[in-house]
Amino acid sequence: MKRRDETQPPDPGAKRAKTEAGPKVKYYHKNGLRHVQPYEHSFETWVKGRWVGRQILEVFVKEFKMHNAEYYQGALDAGKITVDGKAVTAERVLKDGQRVRHTTVRHEPPVRGGDIKIVQQAGDLVVVDKPSSVPVHPCGQYHYNTVTGILMQEQGMEALHTVHRLDRLTSGILVLATTKPAAARFQEEMSKGEVRKKYVARVKGRFPAATEDGSQVTVSQSVRCANYRSSVHECHIDGKPATTNFELMHYNRSDDTSVVRCFPLSGRTHQIRLHLQWLGFPIKNDPCYGGSVTDDGECELGSPRGEAADRFDNTTVIGDMTTQDGQGDLHSLGIWLHAYFYEASKWKFEIELPDWAVPLKDNAA
């Protein structure tokens, strides 16, 4: 199975370089999904060391595969790609210290429709119930179709600071801060282990019940990043220490899945997903760590083809957690992992469990 949990950056600077703030964008809803009206956007980046001495067209074709050579040739001819503010030919050899700029019409992938539900807004904290498929902040191909982007565009909440991580495919409690000092305070509580978190997941197979003494299932396996470009992680002895406790809620005989409470004692990237995979009970619809993008397990995530405009605009929802784009490729709209409880000494946030965590009718045991 192709591990394609996150989309790759479409252009220079998408990950690290600062991008210009774009104009106010328009959203539209189609087929149950939220879309961003395509908009003009400019990416800028300094010439990387590995680009020095290479022709600019070759660099774009090999480094940024969102478009083909024909597109980049046309962009250079039209002056949409510049070096130090000047139009250049495809044969221009790049030098150290130069600034490359690419102006293009940006197409963002669609996400789940509906508003971002605000659970609580008090003082300098904003707590929301994040839908699956929506990234927390700009990353890769997502800029405005993000939690912070939607709240800024639709509710005027500017300069929100993220204080903890919640994967794009994961749903549930997300805490944001309106000031940097508030974000720092919350992050300090997290780093000291003062925040108690509870998640719920639906996994393959019959998860073991508690031991005779009532103990939970505990996994202590270090986690590290295996591939930075695709953001794939793994359990590895050279990683950072990570511990998660698990507790069976119920077993569904009809589809051989278990709903499990998860209690992460650390906050490593993809920790819960990896620890469930390590136990042999991966989240059933997690395409990156042992599950599949569709319930029947017969389909895989496809590589995008064709023009972004047609591919994204014609995306439809297949079932509850899968979309099919305009080129027929399947993509995960979310996984069965939900953060429903966060608590510290002076505050507590709790939201309802999702529908998929409820016992299946006439099949719970």
Residues with catalytic function: 167
Residue 253 CA to residue 166 CA, distance in Å, equals: 30
User: C-alpha angle with apex 11: 5 to 16, nearest 5 degrees?
Assistant: 80
φ and ψ at 31, to 5 degrees?
A: 55, 35
Q: CA 134, 139, 140, 143 torsion: positive or negative?
A: positive
Structure tokens at 232: 């794939």
- Dihedral, 22, 24, 29, 30 alpha carbons, nearest 10: -40
Residue 91 CA to residue 58 CA, distance in Å, equals: 9
User: C-alpha angle with apex 106: 102 to 112, nearest 5 degrees?
Assistant: 150
Residue 246 CA to residue 239 CA, distance in Å, equals: 21
Return the amino acid letter for 18.
Answer: K
Residue 10 CA to residue 138 CA, distance in Å, equals: 13
Residue with tokens 């994967």: 167
Which distant-in-sequence residues (6+ apart) come within 8 Å of 268 by Cβ?
223, 233, 239, 240, 242
Residue 141 CA to residue 109 CA, distance in Å, equals: 7
Contact between 246 and 220 under an 8 Å Cβ cutoff? The reply is no
Instruction: Single out the residue of 101, 71, 97, 106 nearest to residue 86, CA to CA.
Output: 101
Backbone torsion region of residue 114, taken as left when φ is above 0, otherwise alpha when ψ lies between -120 and 50, otherwise beta: left
